[in-house]
Amino acid sequence: MKCAHSSRWLRRVALTALALAGCREATAPEVVDDGGVPLPLLAHVDPDVVAAVQAARDVVRRDPSSAEAWGKLGDRCFVHDFPAEAARCYARAEELDPTRALYSYRLGWSLINDRPAEAALALERSLHELDDYAPAHETYAAVLLRLGRVEEAEQHYRRASELDPRAAQAETGLGQIALTNGDLEGARTHLEEALRRDPQHVEAHVGLAQAYLALGRDEEARHHAETSRALPQESQREDWMAQPNVPPAGARARTKYGRQLVRLGKLDEAEEQYRVALASNPDYYAARLGLAELLVERGKTEDALALLREAERANPDFQQVRVDLVRFQPGQGTRSGR
């Protein structure tokens, strides 16, 4: 997974992290039952998510001394955007088995948005075992930037860039630091290197637009700005340690899994995931849209349009569905949003 939940700001941190110091996101209050096992607020959650969370909690209650059980409950909470509860589970798992850096790393991820100082401590602990893992250095650097520890962040971005010379994220982070420090040529060098590694890296294009504008090179600035607008607004970074491998549950998780299956060319399995997601939550438009796009690709345009018209009838004021209905008409050159 791409960790869209608590990590969304992290994907664009190369452009915004220094301005985020002191910012926090509100989190839902945590509820704990008599057994001390975290219980998220599940009143408005898809039924299969509720079942999955409760099943993971039952395992912990049967064996509260199992670090693995606590870790798996943390994973389940983490993937469903319950970061406070995930953090408690990972902290307990780390306490029971301090040798597994995975627990401290995911604890850090769970704390990033609301408690960045504690996140930094957890991520620092994880680096004792993950020093050769580039995404861990990038994640730690991003949190350090949020805390205003710029020089330390720069060191970890450099370490990440050395460890993974094919990934663009660390060079983009270094470019943004240079840009913030007024080192325009340094920023340009790092951001151009990021694009050499990944020409589609949107954050590097945005940073270069800023750098070239400040350098008075308007045409190049315009080129990168226009390129950035044509790309997905968040770059992707594979970080398996921040991507709990749990069976998908709920409309959102199944939709995300469906998109992954499409990218792998497993269209039958993707269609099944989209349909299960819609059965779980018929109002989850991303699942409906993903299924519609897949049906169009499979030559079933009328079925796709029927899906969208159903959503339009249910919510006549929803503008996006009208846009997609036009986009999916034959001859309109439908472009997949995946």
Q: Which tens digit of pLDDT belongs to each residue from 208-260?
A: 999 999 999 999 999 999 999 988 878 878 899 998 888 888 888 889 889 88
Rounded to an integer, what distance in angstroms lies between the CA atom of residue 2 and that of residue 242? 8
| Region of poorest pLDDT, from 201-205, 213-217, 298-302 | 298-302
Q: What is the pLDDT of residue 316?
A: 86
pLDDT at 11 over 50: no
Q: What is the pLDDT of residue 28?
A: 41
Nearest to 235 by CA among 140, 135, 159: 135
Rounded to an integer, what distance in angstroms lies between the CA atom of residue 298 and that of residue 283? 23
Q: What is the pLDDT of residue 43?
A: 83
Query: Mean pLDDT over residues 114-120, rounded?
Result: 97
Under 8 Å between Cβ of 296 and 334: yes
Under 8 Å between Cβ of 255 and 290: yes
Better-predicted residue by pLDDT, 275 or 30? 275
Alpha-carbon Rg for the chain, nearest whole angstrom, is 22
pLDDT tens figures, 171-184: 999 999 999 999 99
Domains and CATH numbers, the chain: 8-229 (1.25.40.10), 248-327 (1.25.40.10)
φ, ψ of residue 321 in degrees (nearest 5): -65, -35
Q: What is the pLDDT of residue 292?
A: 94
Q: What is the pLDDT of residue 322?
A: 87
Nearest to 253 by CA among 78, 12, 97, 134: 78
Q: What is the pLDDT of residue 235?
A: 83
Rounded to an integer, what distance in angstroms lies between the CA atom of residue 248 and that of residue 259? 12
Rounded to an integer, what distance in angstroms lies between the CA atom of residue 15 and that of residue 201? 12
| Region of poorest pLDDT, from 130-139, 190-199, 257-266 | 257-266
Q: What is the pLDDT of residue 332?
A: 59
Give the pLDDT band (50/70/90) at residue 6: very low
